Structure 1
């Protein structure tokens, strides 16, 4: 009788043990001990690798980088400062202005790069006044700003002349915590209304605030 079969089976066991040990050592090498490339390779311009590097690379391939967060107020500014597209939020179904609104609502059918849009808005319209055409406080604020001869000039949004005036008022109240008109925004930040504007003027701070926003003040505010 042949005895080759038992000898073959016994020779397989050490091989399995060696394979298992090799896998275990490889696992510990990559995930159990920090490591990096030899200095000669690093000097050649290759960056160091480690467990954290590998994990980060693997994750970056699996998940797209998150888009930078843009304040909702710039979505509203983008929509209301457009002169070509006549868009009204009142036409959006099931819109609740008391809750955060997705930026795609403000973009409509456009594909908007919000990072570039925010930069453009701040450059072209550093000062935006949400006004009501019949409001004496709004008229007072607009008249004061005219005396400064700002360049670029303030963008005036007459909210009462829009179909979505009630919705815009609600959104402005939520985003700026200022509930009346005018509502004056400088680079997307509300400074308040007519009283706050007049106070900055009286304290001789308004020119500095406007220039810090990137606007050019061509007069001293007194009309001279």
Structure 2
């Protein structure tokens, strides 16, 4: 029950790095996911900025089999490589998987500026 609730609230989860690992790839992933304007918003964790990094990295590796960041998990399933993520994005498969996980593409409300 808890697991289902977590995936319902956060169907897309991104683990990335700001400094370590591959920051350009992390920025690319976050920009790609951000471009979908998802609702609910994706959960994004900057692994190298967390105090529990020494525990979190091995845990992610053990649970997903992925040894690096960025790591994108959609509906509980990891997308294992940047090549796979780019290919899924290019073919439209990424949008399909995200929607199947329960996120709405272009579902986020955009705040409008105040009228004077």
Question: Same fold judged by TM-score > 0.5?
Answer: yes
SS in 1 for 2:35: helix
Partner residue in 2 for 1:183? 71
Conserved? CA contact 1:150–1:218, under 8 Å: yes
Alignment of 1:1-224 (within 5 A): 115=1, 117-134=2-19, 135-218=23-106
Q: Check whether the contact 2:75–2:98 (CA below 8 A) recurs between aligned residues.
A: no
* Structure 1: runs of 5+ lacking an equivalent: 1-114, 220-224
**Structure 1 residue 196, shift from structure 2 partner:** 2.1
Deviation at 1:204, TM superposition (A): 1.5
Alpha-carbon distance between aligned partners in 2 of 1:196 and 1:138, rounded to the nearest angstrom: 14
Q: Residue 127 of structure 1 contacts residue 184 of structure 1 at CA under 8 Å; is this kept in 2?
A: yes
The total of aligned residue pairs comes to: 104
Superposed displacement of residue 119, structure 1: 2.0
For the aligned residue pairs, the C-alpha RMSD in angstroms reads 1.4
Unaligned runs of 5+ residues in structure 2 are 108-116
Aligned mates of 1:194, 1:158 — CA distance in 2: 17
Measured against aligned partners, the alpha-carbon deviations of 1:170-205 in whole angstroms (never above 9, x if no partner) come to 111111111110111112221124332211011111
Q: Secondary structure at 1:148's aligned position in 2?
A: coil
Q: Which has the larger radius of gyration?
A: 1
Structure having the higher strand fraction is 2
Report how far residue 216 of structure 1 moved: 0.3
Name the CA distance, whole Å, in 2 between partners of 1:178 and 1:201: 19
